[in-house]
Structure 1
Amino acid sequence: MTDGGLRQAFLALRDEFLEICRGRIGVVERNWSEITSGLADENTAEALEFIKREAHTIAGSSGTYGYADMSKSARELEVICARLMDEKVGDMSVAQKDELEAAVTFLREESTRMFADPEIGTIPF
């Protein structure tokens, strides 16, 4: 396969990744909304687990497709969720919610940039 053919294949895979990533961001948003609305008070750990899992996947795949900032923001969100889960947080304090909100906002901002301009990602060849 020529370099041009590899590039085209990579771009097609990247387009697929972007579509899948939109769904993963949606899962993060829905679970964050449940936490902030109080609907997840008794299931905060479950909502955090969903967010952590999606953030983990987004972090790895974003890096693969050249979106380093997106990968970093997702990794940060994953780490915060893991810590909160380790602390066995039921009702989060205001400070904990603020920290989590900042990480979700950072992820949202990076995803908005990535979806608006897919070319910001680096291509490995």
Structure 2
Amino acid sequence: MPTNELLNFIKQSQSAGQTDEKIKAALRSAGWQESDIEEGFKSLKPQITLPTAPPMQTKGVQNYSDVLYRRPQNIVVKSKISSRKKSFLIFVISLLLAALGTAVYFYKLADMPFIKNFLSK
């Protein structure tokens, strides 16, 4: 346990702006033990205590298997595309699919022999 004399000297030296190393060197040269010097510095440093978080409250959960195997809730997400834009987009896609279907139909039809004979005349 550091004495009041040691603690007062450390406080006065720190308030005068001396570094901890200079204070320790002065105390060593005055005959103080290294352990007393360290205890004096430790006792003057403010003790910071961190508040502990309160334990989490669980609402009626008796065991963790309820939490682990619970089904997810259905979440409704509103579409950001307006109904007018959606209708236009469906129309364009339908038009493209119809054009593609027509092109495939005539391509396959052109491979048939009676169409080749008709086109070659």
TM over 0.5: no
Q: TM-score range by the shorter chain?
A: under 0.3
Give the TM-score, by structure 2 length: 0.24
Give the TM-score, by structure 1 length: 0.23
Judging by fraction of residues, say which structure has more helix: 1
Higher relative contact order, chain-length normalized (CA < 8 Å, sep 6+): 1
**Larger-gyration structure (1/2):** 2
